[in-house]
Amino acid sequence: MASVVVAVAVVVLPAVVLVAQRTHAARTGYAILALQGEVQTLQAENARLLAEVAALRAPDRIERIATTQLGMVPPRPQQVASLPVAPPARAVARGPEPSVLDRVVGWLVRTEAAAAEPAP
Amino acid sequence: MAASPHLVADHRRLVRRRLAATRAVLVASLAVLAGRLVQLQVVQGGRLQELAARQQLEAIVLEPRRGRILDRRGRPLAVNVDAPSLYAVPTAIPDPAAFARVVAPLVGQPAAEVERRVRAGRHFAWLARKVDPQVVARVRAAVRPEQVGVLTEQRRAYPNGPLGAHVLGFAGIDNQGLAGVELSYDSTLRGAAGRAVAARDGLGRILVETQRVLSAPRNGQEVLLTVDQVLQHIAERELAAAVRRHDAAGGWVVVLDPRSGEVLAMASSPGFDPNAGVRAEPRLWTNRAISEVYEPGSTFKIFVLAAALDAGVVTADQQVLCTGQLSAPGGAVIRDSGGQRHGWVTPADIIRYSCNVGAALVGTRLGKDRLYTYIRAFGFGRPVGVDLPGESAGIVPPPERWLGPGLQTISFGQGLSVTPLQLAAAATALANDGVVLRPFVVRAVRDADGRMVRVVGRQPVRQVIRPEVAARVLQMMVGTTESGTGTEARIPGYAVAGKTATAQKPAPQGGYDPARLVASFLGLVPVPHPRLLILVSLDEPRRAASGGEAAAPVFREIASQALWYLRVPPQTSPAGAP
């Protein structure tokens, strides 16, 4: 009797495990499929919104609204003045020079980082 | 009664024989089965496995995304959006004629065409591709659900409508470039489709665990134009207004950065909406700025004078006598506009007053062969090589065909034909020490991850004239806008170099038609270091006919707005400024 049970267990259990795994894989596959569909839907929505933003920013549309709805007019040359602007002052703050210890630590860190890089 | 032992023995023998026979049959059958198994699993295993996979796994095409087209500041000019496409399932349609009668008006096609498609297909027949979702909803409401299906495809969209349509071009129903940059950079924009195989379940869903990607799709690369969206808008707006104002048949504007050859704007009138694609009228697709072949008229004088100065046949202060008319070979008489007599004129005066007689005299001094050599060196008579499809070469006849007054008429721009872009490209020599630049519309290409894969820069073609001659001619052109034929192009605060042209168009029966004109203005601003080179032409204007009256004000409007947009400060304070 015991040998029959063992034989059944040896034959049936792997089959059950196999079926369970296949079912799980299929279920996960459907979940992946649903997520892929969701990603595609969001990407399509994003593309549609970007196109809509571009259409809303079209110069022709902005100008039409500015002139017809807001009553704006292009400035005449006499209404625009060009002001001379001095070149920006060089005010870049400089920190203290790195010490020898800083340089050694920097060298080590760089070496470590370089070691982690995949070989070309 | 008991059986005799003899009979029993016979019976047992019979049973044994039958058992042996049965066993032999069984063994033979098993042997046959085993043999067949070996044949199927081992001998033909590979081939059958492949056959089974082919039956169970469906080939899937992984469509790439077409690359976007952006303006020089990264603003999108051509993008992709999803669009539903409708198909019919012919096996589910018992009466194709009745189906067609219902569906055809909803998809905007003839009933006969819909019926033909349904009859031709078995499981699939396109009804309408890349349509509005409302069309899909209306069709679905009108027929049985199993008779139609929907696929989502990518559709090209141009969010700015007609803006830059002739430069952008458009893509077809299968996202293939058909015109403009869409066509000339199609292989860059298109990308490459990938391939995958996967099994489907009973509901038609892909079984992800069976999916194998054989080759991944490669998305198209993005193209960055040299065109600026705002400058393009300014050029198109002002051109459209001028065409309306002068009741012209059309026109074109080319705006170049003369230092680099970048095309900042290129407008043609009449225009079209690239979203309409092939539904737009084909004659409107023509990019007149590169395809139109016309006689340039007086704008050509600057190249003749530059050639004469460079060759040394005239000097900047040398004078020729304009008596208002000139007898030319072949008995022809060259006249100035309105029979004006300009008297003794220098090269600067010839440009300032657009003197035909003076230009003809200078051209005569230069001679046919030398003038032809310079004309070709400036790039006339051959395509400039811009990265757009459909460019014309223009027509420059060889000197031996300059019959009669050919040399004299060519000297003031009649008797040869150019394209607007050729004219603008030749004028880049005036701002680049005599070097002609090749104009271009794409400044960079970047991959789907935003990495630059190609950057296009300044493309010098050849040195045509000496640097000092280029600077001198540019300075002479300032006279046109200060006190010559192009005063309408003056911009307060900036020195403008320009040249007007009012060219007659050839008449169909030969000669020229004085009623059909092309009014042009070619200008560079600010002098001496131009940031803009603008060519404006109006085709057959009916109100103001001359280049100075019709085209020069358009130049002024475009240039003044563009200078402020580009933050080019005025050289002097405009009158009345605070």
Q: What is residue B397's predicted lDDT score, i.e. its pLDDT?
A: 94
CB A35 within 8 A of CB A29: no
Q: What is the mean pLDDT of chain A?
A: 82
Question: Using one digit for the tens of pLDDT, what is the confidence trace for B387-428?
Answer: 999 999 999 999 999 988 999 999 999 999 999 999 999 999
A33/B163 touch (CB, cutoff 8 Å), yes or no: no
Q: How far apart are CA B125 and CA B96, in angstroms?
A: 12
Q: How far apart are CA B430 and CA B477, in angstroms?
A: 10
| pLDDT above 90: percentage of residues in chain A | 32
Q: How far apart are CA B537 and CA B522, in angstroms?
A: 9
Catalytic choice (B85, B268, B269, B298): B298
Q: Give A90's pLDDT tier (boundaries 50, 70, 90).
A: low
The strand ranges marked E within B356-424 are none
Q: How far apart are the first and last CA of chain B?
A: 147
B81/A51 touch (CB, cutoff 8 Å), yes or no: yes
Q: How far apart are CA B363 and CA B368, in angstroms?
A: 8
The helix/strand/coil state of B426 is helix
All residues of chain B having their beta carbon less than 8 Å from the beta carbon of residue A49 are none
CB B87 within 8 A of CB B117: no
All residues of chain B having their beta carbon less than 8 Å from the beta carbon of residue A85 are none
Instruction: Say what the ipTM of the complex is.
Output: 0.74
Q: Per residue of chain B (578 residues), what is the pLDDT tens digit?
A: 566 778 888 889 999 999 999 999 999 999 999 999 999 989 998 998 888 877 778 888 888 999 999 999 999 999 999 888 889 989 889 999 999 999 999 988 899 999 998 988 778 888 988 888 888 899 989 999 888 988 888 899 999 999 999 999 999 988 899 999 999 999 999 999 999 888 877 777 778 778 888 899 999 999 999 999 999 999 999 999 999 999 999 999 999 999 999 999 999 999 999 998 888 888 899 999 999 999 999 999 999 999 999 999 999 999 999 988 888 888 788 888 777 888 899 999 999 999 999 999 999 999 999 999 999 999 999 999 999 999 999 999 999 999 889 999 999 999 999 999 999 999 999 999 999 999 999 999 999 888 999 999 999 999 999 999 999 999 999 999 999 999 999 998 899 999 999 998 888 887 888 888 999 999 999 999 999 999 999 999 987 778 999 999 999 999 999 999 998 988 875 554 44
In DSSP terms, B494 is beta-bridged to B491
Is the pLDDT score of A1 beyond 80? Answer: no
Helix or strand (DSSP H, E) at B521: strand B512-525
Q: What is residue B578's predicted lDDT score, i.e. its pLDDT?
A: 45
The helix/strand/coil state of B252 is strand
Q: Give A56's pLDDT tier (boundaries 50, 70, 90).
A: very high
Nearest to B81 among A29, A47, A59 (CB): A47
Q: How far apart are CA B403 and CA B541, in angstroms?
A: 30
CB B349 within 8 A of CB B361: no
Q: How far apart are CA B306 and CA B166, in angstroms?
A: 32
Tokens of B207: 């079984």
Nearest residue of A to residue B572, measured between CA atoms: A82
CB B540 within 8 A of CB B247: no
**Which is it for strands B57-62 and B194-199: parallel, antiparallel or unpaired?**
antiparallel
All residues of chain A having their beta carbon less than 8 Å from the beta carbon of residue B206 are 33
A52/B159 touch (CB, cutoff 8 Å), yes or no: yes
Q: CA nearest B352: which of B342, B361, B367?
A: B342
Nearest residue of A to residue B161, measured between CA atoms: A55
Ramachandran quadrant class, B36 (left: phi over 0; alpha: psi -120 to 50; beta: rest): alpha
Helix axes of B368-377 and B301-311: crossing angle, nearest 10 degrees? 110
CA torsion B203-B209-B210-B214 (nearest 10°) is 120
Q: How far apart are CA B265 and CA B559, in angstroms?
A: 12
Contacts of residue B482, Cβ cutoff 8 Å, sequence gap at least 6 = B490
Q: What is residue A113's predicted lDDT score, i.e. its pLDDT?
A: 58
Nearest to B157 among A29, A51, A60 (CB): A51
**Which is it for strands B69-70 and B222-225: parallel, antiparallel or unpaired?**
parallel
Nearest to A26 among B209, B561, B564 (CB): B209
Contacts of residue B519, Cβ cutoff 8 Å, sequence gap at least 6 = B246, B501, B502, B537, B538, B541, B544, B545, B546, B547, B549, B550, B551
Tokens of B166: 């002739």
Q: What is residue B364's predicted lDDT score, i.e. its pLDDT?
A: 94
Nearest residue of B to residue A48, measured between CA atoms: B81
Contacts of residue B33, Cβ cutoff 8 Å, sequence gap at least 6 = none
Q: What is residue B191's predicted lDDT score, i.e. its pLDDT?
A: 92
Tokens of B219: 């998305």
CB B484 within 8 A of CB B302: no
Closest CA of chain B from A91, distance in Å:
25
Q: How far apart are CA B305 and CA B315, in angstroms?
A: 10
Is the pLDDT score of A114 beyond 80? Answer: no
Q: CA nearest B92: which of B143, B141, B147?
A: B147
Q: CA nearest B499: which of B511, B489, B513, B491?
A: B489
- Sheet containing B262-269: give its strands across: B262-269, B250-257, B532-539, B512-525, B497-506
Q: How far apart are CA B541 and CA B503, in angstroms?
A: 12
Helix axes of B111-120 and B96-107: crossing angle, nearest 10 degrees? 130
Q: What is residue B180's predicted lDDT score, i.e. its pLDDT?
A: 96
Q: CA nearest B300: which of B152, B443, B447, B427?
A: B427
Interface of A with B (CB under 8 A): 25-26, 28-30, 32-33, 36, 44, 47-48, 50-52, 54-55, 57-60, 63, 74, 77-78, 80-82, 84
B163/A60 touch (CB, cutoff 8 Å), yes or no: yes
The helix/strand/coil state of B222 is strand
Q: How far apart are CA B71 and CA B159, in angstroms?
A: 12
Read off the pLDDT of each residue in A69-73 and give the average, rounded to a whole number. Answer: 93
Nearest residue of A to residue B563, measured between CA atoms: A77
Closest CA of chain B from A46, distance in Å:
9
Ramachandran quadrant class, B548 (left: phi over 0; alpha: psi -120 to 50; beta: rest): alpha
Interface of B with A (CB under 8 A): 75-77, 79-82, 152, 157, 159-161, 163, 205-209, 229-230, 233, 237, 491-493, 560-561, 564, 569-570, 574-578
Best residue in A48, A82, A83, A85 for a mutation probing chain B (most B CBs within 10 Å)? A82
B298 is known as an active-site residue: yes
Cα distances (angstroms) measured from residue B250 to each of B78, B247, B288, B292, B400: 25, 9, 9, 11, 34
CB B309 within 8 A of CB B469: yes
All residues of chain A having their beta carbon less than 8 Å from the beta carbon of residue B578 are 78, 81
Is the pLDDT score of A119 beyond 50? Answer: no
Radius of gyration of chain A (CA): 35
Phi–psi pair at B317, nearest 5 degrees: -105, 5
- Least confident segment among A2-6, A115-119, B134-138, B521-525: A115-119
Nearest to A54 among B76, B493, B575 (CB): B76
Nearest to A51 among B159, B207, B564 (CB): B159
Nearest to B76 among A44, A50, A82 (CB): A50
pTM for the full model? 0.82
